[in-house]
């Protein structure tokens, strides 16, 4: 009888813990959705505005802070970075499942070049071109943060790039506030993105484009077609940051790539 009661007690405890985790996850997701709607509205307005302009190359031109503003941290930032998923045509074959690095590089390049990515067909062609260039550079399918820097410099030698080790939220806010973008290598499953095909990618790469004033980082996440201006909590993002580390991603270095003009 005592063993039965003990077993029942254990089951109840496990159920209570699991239920608590589900409730916390539900609350976090509702918060993300609410912030997502706030962020998406200005993004949609910006895209509508850019569509009515005659010079498409100006649509995504970076608007850098003045020298007087760069010394102080902005309350919120959301740079107008063009978006593409890593599978623009919806073809999630082996090449496109592994193309998050190239898609991230493409978004950053086009932002600093001040040019849109174009149609899904054009985006796919550009991504495949970067995949081919990666192979020519001798890099494996999964790029490290350092290899991403090599690819960026290969494509645009005028860009300034650096590795930022063990970044805090304030570190990332600072560089974003100064007009930089950030490419993040991550343990993708730690991001808990509901739009990833379960369980999500063990290794992933995405772009940080800004942050809100209430605890969220704004990303362009190529791992889903819904990834434009996608928000994550800072806690979740910082936890997910891990470099490739020869496949031992969970123990990979906490490092990101900072890109500036």
pLDDT digits (tens, 9 = 90+) for 58-91: 334 444 443 334 447 999 999 999 999 999 999 9
Q: Is residue 88 part of a domain?
A: yes
Asked if the structure places residue 201 within a domain, the reply is: yes
Give domain status of residue 191, yes or no: yes
Higher pLDDT, 238 or 54: 238
Instruction: Please say if the pLDDT value at position 38 is more than 80.
Output: no
Rounded distance between C-alpha atoms, residue 99 and residue 73, angstroms: 33
pLDDT band at 135 (very low <50, low <70, confident <90, very high): very high
pLDDT (0 to 100) of residue 81: 98
Q: How confident is the model at residue 50 (pLDDT cuts 50, 70, 90)?
A: very low
Q: Per this entry, what is the length of the chain? A: 261
Least confident range of 17-21, 43-47, 96-100, 139-143: 43-47
Residue 29 located in a structural domain: no
| Nearest Cα to Cα of residue 201 among 89, 91, 99 | 99
> Residues with Cβ < 8 Å from 33, sequence gap 6 or more?
none
pLDDT at 2: 63
Q: Say if 43 falls within a structural domain.
A: no
Query: What sign does the dihedral 225-230-232-237 (CA atoms) show?
Result: positive
Find the mean pLDDT for residues 228-244: 98
- In this predicted structure, the answer to whether residue 195 has a pLDDT above a threshold of 90 is yes
In a domain, 45, yes or no: no
- Does residue 204 register a pLDDT over 90? yes
pLDDT at 72: 77
What range does the domain containing 81 cover? 56-260
Per mean pLDDT, which range of 14-18, 26-30, 50-54 is the poorest? 50-54
Residue 217 has pLDDT above 50, yes or no: yes
- The predicted-structure confidence for 149-184, as pLDDT tens digits, reads as follows 999 999 999 999 999 999 999 999 999 999 999 999
CATH of the domain at 219: 3.90.70.10
Q: Give the mean pLDDT of the chain.
A: 84
- Please report, for the chain, how many H helices and E strands are present, in that order: 8, 7
- 34 located within any domain: no
Domain tally, the chain: 1
CA angle 238/43/65 to nearest 5° reads 70
Q: What is the mean pLDDT of residues 138-143?
A: 94
Residue 106 lies in a domain: yes
The count of other CB atoms within 10 Å of the CB of residue 238 is 19
Reading the block at residue 98, the tokens are 């592994």
């Amino acid at each position: 009888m005592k063993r039965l009661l003990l077993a029942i007690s254990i089951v109840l405890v496990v159920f209570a813990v699991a239920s608590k985790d589900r409730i916390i996850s539900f609350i976090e997701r509702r918060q993300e959705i609410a912030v997502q709607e706030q962020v998406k509205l200005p993004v949609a307005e910006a895209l509508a505005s850019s569509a009515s302009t005659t010079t498409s190359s100006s649509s995504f031109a970076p608007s850098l802070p003045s020298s007087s503003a760069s010394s102080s941290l902005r309350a919120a930032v959301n740079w107008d970075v063009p978006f593409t998923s890593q599978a623009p045509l919806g073809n999630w074959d082996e090449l496109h499942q592994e193309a998050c690095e190239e898609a991230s590089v493409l978004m950053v390049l086009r932002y600093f070049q001040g040019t849109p990515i174009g149609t899904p067909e054009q985006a796919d062609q550009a991504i495949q071109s970067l995949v081919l260039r990666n192979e020519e550079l001798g890099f494996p399918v999964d790029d490290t943060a350092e290899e991403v820097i090599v690819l960026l410099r290969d494509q645009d030698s005028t860009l300034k790039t650096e590795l930022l080790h063990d970044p805090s939220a304030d570190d990332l806010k600072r560089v974003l506030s100064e007009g930089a973008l950030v490419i993040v290598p991550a343990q993708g499953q730690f991001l808990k993105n509901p739009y990833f095909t379960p369980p999500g990618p063990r290794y992933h790469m995405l772009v940080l484009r800004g942050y809100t004033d209430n605890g969220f980082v704004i990303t362009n996440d190529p791992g889903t077609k819904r990834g434009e201006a996608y928000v994550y909590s800072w806690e979740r993002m910082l936890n997910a940051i891990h470099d490739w580390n020869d496949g031992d991603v969970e123990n990979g270095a906490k490092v990101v790539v900072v890109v500036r003009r």
